Amino acid sequence: MAKAVAVEPDRLDQEAREAFRQLTPAPVTGRDENGRPGAITPGERLVEITRRSRIIAVSDTLARAVVALLAQRGVASEIGHVHVDPAESDEQVLGLLVVLDGKRAVVPIRPGARQLRAYPEAGAIDLTGNDPLLVIDLPADAIEQDGWLGAVAITTALTGHLAPPA
């Protein structure tokens, strides 16, 4: 029998925030043929690929923290697969699966987004063409200096719209 592992939402939120601060890869220090140090800047395509993969990783960690916090409040949710929220960008982020007004919905968890949007649950990655079922403006005072919006702010905003299990 597998042992249950306690999820620490605060630790997950902190991990996600640290990774959020490092979305773009930094130059690497190398040495030329004469042994002189020099900065090697990553190529534009590598920067974009790295940034997109890191957004997915940050989104995953943040979504896990939100799921744990919602569970503490008696609200069932789970992490689905990646989605593209057309209102934000073409970047993939993890979708949080919730029940909204008795229907399953997906809430893409985009790190640093100022709004949360719930869409009808979809198997497709791209949610283009689906109108949001709900749009929630996140409070301006919850936005950190570096643009971070933590799991507690997201959970608080969602909790008012999601019903605990009957």
Per-residue pLDDT tens for 64-86? 999 999 999 999 999 999 999 99
Per-residue pLDDT tens for 90-141? 999 999 999 998 899 999 999 999 999 999 998 899 999 899 999 999 999 9
pTM, entire model: 0.87
**Residue 88 contacts residue 110 (beta carbons within 8 Å):** yes
